Every structure is written in structure tokens, then in C-alpha cells.
Chain A
Amino acid sequence: METGVAAIDAARPRVGLIVNPIAGMGGRVGLKGTDGPDAVERARSLEAVPVSGERAAIALATLGEKATGGVDIVTAPGELGAFVAQRAGFEPIVVGNESEIAGTSHDTIAYARAIGDAGVDLLLFAGGDGTARNIHDAIGVEIPALGIPTGVKMHSSVFGTNPRAAGELAARFVEMSSGPCRESEVMDIDEDAFREGRVSARLFGYLRVPYQRSLVQGLKSGSTGNELSVLNGIATAIGQWMTDDALWILGPGTTTRHIATVLGLPKTLLGVDLYRNRTVVSQDANEQEILRQLDATPARLVVTPIGGQGYLFGRGNQQLSPAVLRRIGLSNIIVVATPGKLAGLDGASLLVDTGDAALDAELRGYVRVIVNQRQESMQRVT
């Protein structure tokens, strides 16, 4: 680790850091998230301890240790990042000053933008789903970003599996001077509903996240096995099937969007889109619209699990309501996912939570998942 005043080396990679200092406070006192000032106040009153900084420091220390070529940290002042960077042994470049901090989620958005404007190769953020949403609002998919998991709600798949893993991934990414990335979901739920015991997660968008499984850039030209060729394989498998005159319904996600792209069809990333005879019937359809289109003709639904927890239904695609699924018929549901996605699931199974217990029970068991042109995996649904 370097000591003293760090020389700013233009050739050295720059990693942004933003810490949501209150993320994760709620978890240990039984609150489900700390989004909104009331929740923070309640958390503080319950003597919640800030854990975000502690976990962020682990990630940053790992980054410093593993990135042997050296790395510069660009961060926000005080507990939004600078303190953590210093604790991990860095002399960070700080944008803005502490007096500007408002103590709300706007801080995350504003500083993430400022750090992005200062020029970084990667933005590390410590927090939970709420923080990921803020980062998504601030930078979209322009700058690669990676979450250090410190929050309570972790539906998004933009986080390292633990702080140390996040640090290692970041180190590998900068050591390879910007390694491979892929778009991963930012999910969040309505915290009020969550605190009342109801879950209602939405897919908010995507962040561009470093991707660990394919470290070898040079072999991207390989004709098999890499992420792109796998996606193409899935698209080919679906394309060979999509020759009937059924109503084809594509759920949200990058995998389904890739299928549409390969087939030359437009596709909204977050919405449910409808096609017939390989032409668009309806885009970003809501439940009513889908039901309206589900006339007497048969329909096929292509879905991919959403988020790090692997929800097939009930998170991020609520348009596909129990009524819709029953009208389509469970035997007409086609599940697609890359092997990488399946391997990255938190649990071994796919999850369903449609809000209709009887339907959920019917969906449980084993489902065929198309994982490449000529490959399927039997995946348990619970």
C-alpha cells in the first residue's frame, strides 16, 4: 500500500466510490430497508449501527491489495466515501465538500454524477437496492458500476456476493484495463409494502457490471461458449420455434431483448411485448392489454428469471398476473436463461410469487430452461 500523498498518475486506473452510510442500518433492528427520512430516524432511534462503511472498507482494502498496478480512488466527502477510502489506506481524490451533503438519497445521485464527471473507469457503491436505483438514475449504463452489498434488500443482481468479492472483482476489472461487463438488473421493492409484509418488486433498469466468468477478452471470438454466443444460441432456439401464428409474449430482461434483436424485432427492456407472425402487436403492455390480446388463439410466453434471486414471476414482471398466466396456460410458458445467470442465482431454485397461492403451487416442481441452442437445464421452481 502506498503511503504519503498519492501521486495522481493519469495512466493509473481510477475507481469511483460512493457509500450510502445508512444502508443496512435497518436490517439489524428488524426494519426492512432505510429508504426515506422517517425510516432512517426510526433506525437511529433503535440504535442501529452504521455497517455500510465497515463493509465498504473491506471491499476497498481488498481492491488496494489485489490491484497490484495501483489505483486512484475518486469519492465523495466524509462518510459518503472519503472516510472509508482513508480507512482502507488510500489518499482519495474528493469531489465536492461536506457542507453540501443533504443527508438524503439525492446525495447519492448528485455525487455519483459528480464522480462520473470527474472520470472513472468503474464506480463502486456501497448500499442496497435503493442505492442501486439511485446509481442507475445517476449514471445509467454509461459507466461500469459494481455494488458492495451492505443493504437489507438485495433483489438486484448488481452486487458482488460479499464485500471482499466485490473488491476482487473490481481489482480484476481495472487490472485488465476495463474487463468485460454485462447489463444486470436493478430491482427494488416498495418499502412501505415490504414493511407491512407485502412484497412488490419492480425492475427499474440496468447497470453495466463487471463480469467475472469470462476473464479472457481475446477469446471473445470463440465460436462457442461465451456469453454472446450463448445468447445467440437461445435466440436461435426460440426463433426456430416462433414459426406458428400464436401470440408470442416476451417478458422483460436482456435475454428476451436479445432474442427479439436477433429475430429483428423491437423489444422494450423493462416491459412485456407482444408479437404475432413476427410483427409487433403491442409494446410495454399492461395486464389489461395482455388479457385483451389473449383472445381465442394460442399464446406462448417467453420469460427469463429476474434479479439475483431468480424470480420467474412476481418480481419485475407483475403484468404477467395470475389471470394472464392462467389464460396463456402453464404448458405454454418457455423459460430461457444463460448458464451464467443460473449459476449466479442466490439459491438453487427459481422462485415464483404471483400472489395466487394455488397458481404458485402449480408452477412449482421442475421446469425446462433453455440455456443454449441445443441445451436445456431442469431447474427446480419453489
Chain B
Amino acid sequence: MTRVRNFHAAQWDEPLILELGSPGERGYIPPAVESGIQDVVGPAEELVPAAMRRQAPPQLPEISQPGVLRHYLRLSQMTMGCHITPDASLGTCTMKYSPQINEHLARSPQMSDLHPLQDDETTQGMLEIIYGLEQMLCEISGMSAFTFQPAGGSQAIFANACIIRAYHEDRGEGDLRDEIISTAFSHPIDCAAPAVAGFKVITLMPGPHGYPELDALKAAISPRTAGLMMTNPEDTGIFNPYVEEFTRLVHEAGGLCAYDQANANGILGITRARENGFDLCQFNLHKTFSVPHGSTGGSCGAGGCTEELAKYLPSPKVEFDGERYYWDYDRPDSIGKIRSFHGNLQAVLRSYAWILAHGSEGLRQVAETAVLNNNYLQQLIQQIPGVSIGYDAPGRRLQEVRYSWEPLLEETGVSSEDVRRRMVDFGLQGYFTSHHPMLIPEPFTLEPSESWSRSDLEEYGRVLGHIDSEARDDPEFVQSSPHRASITRIHEDALDTPEQWAMTWRGWKRKYGDVATPNA
């Protein structure tokens, strides 16, 4: 295909489920209570103290089973998952293929119907998988131990901040070492997590090459330094070549170094946390290791660390005594619980299977192809006249690039947000702009993982080029987009205005009158 796709999204004009159905309809009948039980315990109402009985029933929909199924199938058709469209759009998110076979395995009763408090003898299979993935990630990162309790990257990074806190407290330096150093192009959580853990946070701003200069770090390091928490490559796709110096200097000052490996897809098998000098790291299994993102979880932030720090990992942790696997709850130095029970282990199973399907060569193929795809896409994108790329970085970008539409905005008035909406008209996911702070104007961040073909990338580039031309011919048309999506442009300000926002149907009814939503 050499033209842009003549796409139109499903436009079901679907009301809220709360407005569907009719009184008396129902979609499910709970199992009836046997008369033998009724006879013994009497009516249910009397089993609840009067003050605690529900008075009015909740205003939930009354709708049949086919009605519910149809409604949510329609909603699914108006959702652009990365199995539907080659999602190079969500930079920093590593959208990739999640093999169907892993989905089948994760949904088997042998995984999905396990209770977290079952005796270890009845979960040896899952424990073996958890232990096995730990060993694999240790090899991939050079770390010595992993926890899978954190339910996402943020929780894992928060756990790492807590481990740094515990480490210094144990050494009697908890009060002295109260500063964490991070960088402006690391994910916001690398600053937020230590702040919530009670640290003061010092942010290094990027130097002319896009990464912070060594002098900035030197000026930030002091006896108060507790640690360094950073991403590399940063969200710009630029690899900080001085990272070894960074970690060395922080170590010399007595701090620990935590590596946010959310951007690991381009360095699998190429370089590892250990050789980079880190004491702690985390992988987002939904990014690098193919766990489906689930519309925003649940997934897993796998947190790794050196042998010295392993005792601090959240509790319990899977161990192996040579014959059987077991949950070890006897961990007196552990930072404790970040999530109830064990975490999203259905994600662990999927990543285990995914790594098994690749092996060492395969993982390297993943990294190489992801970086090659990114460089190929960059080649296409930088030919678009309205696009610029900030920073004179040495070497090539790795798995992603943060671009800028600043020239387009200046020449046409069409912004990055405008282009993002218009993309949807061509069947592409709207791209990710940037995390805060928005140091690059009119940003957009593309990450074409290994899952997308050359022709996918060419189509992607063609669409952005086409929108650039449209912006020059008819900026208003791009600004008023989308035109072929499931809905037209909304009043974005209403999302942020207390008098206009509504997070629930009852909130909507109060603010907009007791009337149905416009589509009902």
C-alpha cells in the first residue's frame, strides 16, 4: 500500500450501560440457596444488623445477558489495542505483540483459579515458574534476586526507593542521607517514588547532548546523597554514555543506584544493569516482556537487586531448597508488603513463556530489531518538514525518539495535540507526547518495537507526512479533527473543570440535569 489508509472507526453511538435495558431484565442468576440452608438460618435480611441493611437498591443496569455482551463488544470495537493496530505511537510504553499461546496458558485454571494462601505443595508449578523467571531476569540484568510483588513499574520503583531507605537506616545513616538524585528525562515516577518515600529529590537537567552532564552530577553529590534513580536510555531514546561514571561517583559518595529499566527493550542482551554499576533495577513485564497492557494493567514491575540487598525485597519471596519451591515469609529485614499477597503472577507466567520462546539469540534479535525499527522510522519521520529532533546526541537513538512538531506549529498553527487527534482518522493509535516536564516543545515520542513490520513503519511515516501536508493546506481541518474516529472532538476543558467534570453517571446527572446523555 502506498497511500494512506481509508479508515473509519466503528461509531456505534453507544449509550452508557446504565441507560440500556429495561426494568426486570437480568443477565445472570446467582446460584439459588438450597432449602436446607434456608431452613437452618432463616431469611437473609435478619442476618444483617438493622442499621447496616441496604435501604435502596443500587441503581445498576437491568439488562439481559446478550444485551451486556453486545454493549461491551461494541465498546471493544471502539478501542484500538496494539493487536489491532501496529502501535508505534506509545513511546516509553513498548507496545508489542503478546503471543496468544501465553494468553491461553495464563487463563488455564492451573493459573487463574489458584488462591494465594494455598499450601505450597499445591502450587509447585507456579512457584517453579516464578523461580525460573527470577533466574532468567537475573541473567538478563546481572542482578542476584527479583521480586514480582509490585503490580507495575511504579510500585517496583517505589519499592526500590524504600530499599534504599532501609539500607541507609540499617547503616545508621538514615537521617543523614536524605537526597535522591534523578534526571529530568527519567520517568516522573523516578522522582515521585523517592519523594513519597521521604527523600528530598534533586533533578539533573539535560545538557546540550540531551543527557545530564557529569558536572551536574558532581555538583549534586554530597554526604547527603542516598542514591541515584534514573532511566537509560532516557525517554528521548538517548543513552547516557557516562552512566558508568554516574554510578561510580554515587557509590564513592556512599549512595545506591537504582536503574529504571522501563526502556530496556533496545538493550536486551546488549548491556546489563550490573555492568552499568546499578544495585537495583526493575523491568516492566508489560513493556519489555510482552505482558499485554490490559488497558492499563494488571501487570508486574519485576524488581531486581544485588545479593547484598536481596534481604530487603518485599515479603514473601519464592525460594527453592533443591527439591521443592516455597514462599519464604521469614524475612526480618524485608521492607514488607507493597501489594497484598504475591502480585500479578499471571504476568510472570506470560513473561516466562515469552523468554522461553526466544532464548538468548531471540532476545538479542528483539533488541536489535527494535533499535533497527526505530532508526528506520526516524529516517522516515525526519523527512517530514514540520518535524524537528532536539539535542545533538552522540550516536544513534536506541528504541525510541522524542520528536517535536515545533516547526509545524510555527508555520501552520497546528500543534502536536492536533496531529495526535488526526492520526486516529487513519487507524493509528494517537501517539504519546511526553512526560513532564515538557522540555521539548510540541513533543511526540515514537517507539516502534520489534513487533511491527517494515511496511507497518512505512505506513506510519506516510500518515504523519500526510498530516503535515494537510496542516499546510487546511490547518483548520487538522485542528478540528478527528473526523473518522468513534467520536468527534470533545470539550477537553470539561475534564479539568470542577463544575463540568463527572467521574460517574450520578455526577453527570447532577451537573447536566437529570437527562440522558446525548446519545441515549
Contact = CB atoms under 8 A, between A and B. Distances in A.
Interface of A: 62, 162, 164, 175-176, 215-219, 339, 343, 348, 365-368, 371, 374-380
Given A164-B413, A368-B202, A379-B205, A374 B220 contact: no
B498 interface: yes
B305 to A, nearest CB: 25
Contact of A375 (B195, B410, B437, B498): B195
> Which 4 pairs from chain A and chain B are nearest by CB?
A218-B498, A366-B219, A374-B200, A378-B216
Interface string B203-218: 1111100001101111
Interface string B30-46: 00000000000000000
Given A365-B215, A365-B219, A380-B216, A218 B499 contact: yes
B443 to A, nearest CB: 13
Contacts of A162: 410
Q: Tell me which of B179, B203, B212, B410 has the highest count of chain A C-beta atoms within 10 A of its own C-beta.
A: B203
Contacts of B203: 371, 375-378
B464 interface: no
A367 B195 contact: no
B393 to A, nearest CB: 15
> Would you call the interface of chain B mostly helix, strand, loop, or mixed?
mixed
A378 B219 contact: yes
B498 A368 contact: no
B122 interface: no
Contacts of B201: 374-376
Chain B interface residue number, banded = 20 to 34
Contacts of A366: 213, 215-216, 218-220
Majority-rule SS of A interface residues? mixed
B496 interface: yes
Interface in B124-157: none
B118 interface: no
B202 A378 contact: yes
Given A218-B497, A368-B219, A339 B437 contact: yes
A367 B437 CA distance: 19
18 contacts: A175-B493, A215-B493, A215-B496, A216-B496, A216-B498, A366-B218, A366-B219, A368-B219, A374-B199, A374-B201, A375-B195, A375-B200, A375-B202, A376-B200, A378-B204, A378-B205, A379-B205, A380-B205
B497 A377 contact: no
Contacts of B217: 378
Nearest to A373: B200
Interface string B183-198: 0000000010001000
Contacts of B496: 215-216
Nearest to B181: A378
Given A368-B220, A380-B216, A219 B204 contact: no
A47 B27 CA distance: 80
Nearest to A161: B441
Contacts of A218: 497-499
Contacts of B438: 343
A368 B221 CA distance: 10
Specify which of B179, B205, B437, B439 lies most central, judged by the most chain A CB atoms within 10 Å of its CB: B205
Interface in B473-519: 493, 496-499
A381 to B, nearest CB: 10
Given A368-B219, A374-B199, A374-B200, 12 more contacts: A62-B413, A162-B410, A215-B496, A216-B498, A339-B437, A366-B216, A375-B195, A376-B201, A377-B203, A378-B202, A378-B212, A378-B217
B222 to A, nearest CB: 9
Nearest to B202: A376
A367 B219 contact: yes
A348 B212 CA distance: 12
Nearest to A164: B413
A379 B203 CA distance: 9
B207 A378 contact: no
B471 to A, nearest CB: 14
A310 to B, nearest CB: 12
B204 to A, nearest CB: 5
Contacts of B195: 374-375
Interface centre among B199, B206, B219 (most CB of A within 10 A): B219
Nearest to B218: A366
A301 to B, nearest CB: 18
Given A162-B410, A377-B203, A380-B207, A219 B498 contact: yes
B437 A343 contact: yes
A117 to B, nearest CB: 32
Contacts of B215: 365-366
A164 B200 CA distance: 38
A270 B105 CA distance: 69
A62 B412 CA distance: 12
Nearest to A61: B413
A370 to B, nearest CB: 10
